Chains A and B, each alone.
Chain A
Amino acid sequence: NAGVMQNPRHLVRRRGQEARLRCSPMKGHSHVYWYRQLPEEGLKFMVYLQKENIIDESGMPKERFSAEFPKEGPSILRIQQVVRGDSAAYFCASSPRTGLLYGYTFGSGTRLTVV
């Protein structure tokens, strides 16, 4: 039973390029969450999605960031025109229903470095 799968594990982008981070939730999990962790900082909520729906994007920066969870395939977090400040670990988590009762299971993260 594979856990939450994130790829790539490490991603290096030059300033101005696009970064695409992928997340496949655990089997049977229909709720996906994206979090960002800056060095020496806590996890910050970005967006919560269910299949084909964005439920809560209150933590997403207004520009350059977008997320989707299509009917088929993984969830994608997309960062356009990356800047150095986007360098961070991006974690995806999933839960079978609302995370209120079950908590989340996290993937191993994608470490984005912008050079």
Chain B
Amino acid sequence: RKEVEQDPGPFNVPEGATVAFNCTYSNSASQSFFWYRQDCRKEPKLLMSVYSSGNEDGRFTAQLNRASQYISLLIRDSKLSDSATYLCVVNNGGGADGLTFGKGTHLIIQP
């Protein structure tokens, strides 16, 4: 059973559209959640943390559903520069440090 599961895509989306990704996690003890972005052959970069109440940062909105153990990321008014792989990240829980990364969802914004 995969600990953090994401649809690998690719999602091909026209510029200006809204796109959403989901991610499911298996460890009910997890308490911290993040979305990272990774460009081709680059390091992952923190995009945003995900809070229980949901949070928004500009065109990006993250939601957490603890009951169903999934996290979502919504990107509005997508830009060409949003093309990247988006990684769902969950802490290991149970008092242990360490983050578990999903394999990522590949997003391609088309002009």
Residues of A within 8 A of B (CB): 31, 33, 35, 41-45, 48, 55-56, 89, 91, 98-101, 103-109
Q: How far is the CA of A33 from the CA of B31 in the complex (A)?
A: 19
A41, closest chain B residue (CB)? B103
What is the distance, in angstroms, from B77's C-beta to the closest C-beta of chain A?
25
Number of A-B residue pairs with CB-CB distance less than 8 Å in the complex they form? 56
With A106-B43, A106-B45: A99-B99 Cβ-Cβ less than 8 Å: yes
In the complex formed, the residue of A with least CB distance to B47 is: A103
Chain B residues in 8 Å Cβ range of A104: 46, 99
Interface residues of B (CB under 8 A from A): 31-32, 34, 36, 41-46, 49, 87, 89, 91, 96-104
How far, in angstroms, from A83 to B88 measured CA to CA in the complex?
30
> Are B99 and A107 neighbours in the complex by a CB distance under 8 Å?
no
A99 and B87 form a contact (CB under 8 A): no
Q: Are A43 and B87 in contact (CB under 8 A)?
A: yes
Contact of A105 with B46 in the complex, beta carbons under 8 Å? yes
Whole-angstrom distance between the Cβ of B60 and the nearest chain A Cβ: 15
Question: In the bound complex, what is the Cα–Cα distance between A59 and B17 (angstroms)?
Answer: 39
Cβ contacts A to B, 11 pairs, < 8 Å: A33-B98, A41-B103, A42-B102, A42-B103, A45-B98, A48-B98, A55-B97, A56-B98, A91-B43, A104-B46, A109-B43
B32 touches A35 (CB 8 A): no
Q: A103 touches which one: B31, B46, B98, B102 (CB < 8 A)?
A: B46
Name the residue on A nearest B104 (C-beta). Answer: A42
Give Cα A108–Cα B43 distance, bound, in whole angstroms: 5
Best-buried of B31, B45, B98 by chain A (most CB within 10 Å): B98
CA distance A42 to B101 in the complex (A): 7
Question: Considering only CB atoms, which chain A residue lies closest to B49 in the complex?
Answer: A103
Residues in chain B near residue A55, CB distance under 8 A: 97
Q: Min CB distance, A8 to chain B, in Å? A: 15
